[in-house]
Amino acid sequence: MLDIPAQPSDQEGRHTAEFLRVKGLAERGAPTAQHSLGFMYASGQGVPQNFELAVAWYRMAASAGLELAQYNLGVMFQKGQGVAQDYGQAAYWYRRAAEQGYAPAQYNLGWLYAKGQGVPNDVQQALQWFSQAADQGEPGAQHNLGMMYETGKGVPQDFDAAAMWYRRAAEQGYARSQFSLALRSSGDAAVEWFRKAAEQGYAPAQFNLGLRYDKGQDVDQDSSRALLWYGRAAEQGHTSSQFNLALIYDSGHGLPRNEALALAWYRRAAEQGHAGAQDNLGVRYEHGQGVDCDPAQAAHWYRKAAEQGMPSAQYHLAQLYDAGTGVPNDPEQAVLWYRKAAEQGHLRAQFDLGLRYEGGVGVARDEAQALEWYRRAAHQDYAPAQYMVGSLLDRSDHGNPIEATDWFHKAADQGHALAQFELGLRHDCGKGIERDYEAAHFWYLCAARQGHARAQFNLGVMYSAGQGVQRDLVEAYGWLQRAGGAGVGAAAGYLKKIAVRMEPQLLAQAQGFV
């Protein structure tokens, strides 16, 4: 018997009286009362929750043929509540209810066939039961039918049929279908379906709605609304939302920057396995951003992201092995991780791998391999790699001076001082390109302004001789003075010769050249 409190509240009293009434009917063999009593025990309604007693009463009603009790008994077996989990028994009771036309049981039975749980994996059986439930308006079954038509699983692929079933479920408020329709829509329609699903708490829809506000896609850019929707999804454990929240707080885009919150969200996403968050957390530990500098922790997080195949983390881990920071110095391990990142197109990894093949660091020296990796980075318009391609081609026995010049030009156009100097030399000497002193002067000047000492020297010589430019001893003296200060020994001799040719006033002007 149920223990009744001495002074129950009105609500407790009503629940107790209802429980006793239902219990009496159930004990007299009324199946609907037996089911209701089972539900009371399952939900703790008017009586302490007791799954074992719920199963016992559900079983009595189910054995009498009550489809709702059969369904709920199936649920108890599927979840392992009050009984050992048993998908076979769940399927048995779902089938008893499904054959009486009970749509939720048809839907659940379809799922068991789709997953092969307690019954053989059978797409056609899944399709049959989903179809019966969907025709009765069961939204979950309608959604699953939509997925089957979309993927062509068990039926010929039919996007129109998929959209029809998604829409039928979506119009009943089924969030997953609303999300699916949003993904297949554009503009205002997409935003509206995302919003409907998001307002029901569906995390992927909340993330996508946040993303649209974040990027200003189909809506006005609004960082505060992005933060709202990312936050709702993030609190449900949606890792991409957690990561994007961290990015917003990290950058201060549209709101005050908050490094502590950025770090907290990076950590939450990282601990759930988000590779981008793990990589960013590694960066913070490596450089002491918001945390104490801890190279070992940096290596820990880089490795987690690297092992998921994230190229930037692979590159960062390679750098730690290169420097022996947080991990033992290991050039071979560095090359291994550089290669993994490089093979995914990571530009700096490709370049650094080229450097290692060229220098024989952590790998056998191989100029052909060096050239290959430099080329890959060069084709991504990385000026240092373009310069290195030109340099290797220039000194190779089988090199091509014209191609080398072309690569030097690409790098020089991006402001690479070494390439600018090389291009000046080639115009000066006519190597791989037509001799052109004016062009040589132009490229020497570009490199000299960036502090390239030999370019400064050559530029001074050209001004002194009036080669490619009008003779100007003041300019010549000034550039040679800079070159000498940077360690070009030959500059001193030229400076003496020029000084002899200059009037005192001009020499004083030149010596003031900075």
Q: Where do the domains of the chain lie, and which CATH numbers do they carry?
A: 173-272 (1.25.40.10)
Asked if residue 11 has pLDDT above 90, the reply is: no
Q: What is the radius of gyration, based on Cα positions, of the chain?
A: 37
**How far, CA to CA in Å, does 273 sit from each of 198, 285, 317, 422, 444?**
24, 17, 17, 47, 51
Q: Which of 56-70, 78-92, 375-389, 430-444 has the lowest mean pLDDT?
A: 430-444
Asked if residue 4 has pLDDT above 50, the reply is: no
**Confidence band (pLDDT; 50, 70, 90) for 433?**
confident
Q: Per-residue pLDDT tens for 368-395? A: 999 999 999 999 999 999 999 999 998 8
Q: What confidence score (pLDDT) does residue 15 get?
A: 58
pTM: 0.83
222 φ/ψ angles, rounded to the nearest 5 degrees: -155, 100
Asked if residue 9 has pLDDT above 50, the reply is: no
Q: What confidence score (pLDDT) does residue 31 get?
A: 95
Mean pLDDT of 24-31: 94
Q: Per-residue pLDDT tens for 163-182? A: 999 999 999 999 999 999 99
Q: Output the six-digit token pair for 141.
A: 């079954």
Mean pLDDT of the chain: 93
Q: What confidence score (pLDDT) does residue 67 get?
A: 97
**How far, CA to CA in Å, does 248 sit from each of 114, 241, 284?**
40, 10, 16
Q: What confidence score (pLDDT) does residue 158 get?
A: 96
H helices within 28-66, ranges in order? 31-43, 51-63
The answer to whether the beta carbons of residues 409 and 418 sit under 8 Å apart is no
DSSP secondary structure letters along 84-135 = ---HHHHHHHHHHHHTTT-HHHHHHHHHHHHHTSSS---HHHHHHHHHHHHH
Distance (Å, whole) CA 511 – CA 502: 11
Q: What confidence score (pLDDT) does residue 182 get?
A: 97
Q: Per-residue pLDDT tens for 283-300? A: 999 999 999 999 999 999
The answer to whether the beta carbons of residues 229 and 207 sit under 8 Å apart is yes
Q: Per-residue pLDDT tens for 91-115? A: 999 999 999 999 999 999 999 999 9
Asked if residue 279 has pLDDT above 80, the reply is: yes
Q: What confidence score (pLDDT) does residue 10 get?
A: 40
DSSP secondary structure letters along 196-236 = HHHHTT-HHHHHHHHHHHHHTSSS---HHHHHHHHHHHHTT
Q: What confidence score (pLDDT) does residue 514 get?
A: 52
Q: Per-residue pLDDT tens for 470-481? A: 999 989 989 999
Q: Per-residue pLDDT tens for 120-167? A: 999 999 999 999 999 999 999 999 999 999 999 999 999 999 999 999
The one-letter amino acid at 118: G
Mean pLDDT of 7-25: 66
DSSP secondary structure letters along 423-457 = HHHHHHHTSSS---HHHHHHHHHHHHHTT-HHHHH
The one-letter amino acid at 167: R
Distance (Å, whole) CA 358 – CA 157: 53
Q: What confidence score (pLDDT) does residue 408 get?
A: 96
Q: What confidence score (pLDDT) does residue 513 get?
A: 62
Rounded-to-10 torsion of CA 227, 229, 235, 238: -110
Distance (Å, whole) CA 342 – CA 335: 10
Asked if residue 44 has pLDDT above 50, the reply is: yes
Mean pLDDT of 227-251: 96
Distance (Å, whole) CA 215 – CA 348: 28
Q: What confidence score (pLDDT) does residue 3 get?
A: 31
Q: Which of 465, 453, 461 is nearest to 489 (CA)?
A: 453
Angle 228-231-234 from CA coordinates, rounded to 5°: 155
Q: What confidence score (pLDDT) does residue 504 get?
A: 82
**Confidence band (pLDDT; 50, 70, 90) for 1?**
very low
Q: Output the six-digit token pair for 220.
A: 């006005």
Distance (Å, whole) CA 489 – CA 241: 60
Q: Which of 433, 439, 430, 424 is nearest to 402 (CA)?
A: 433
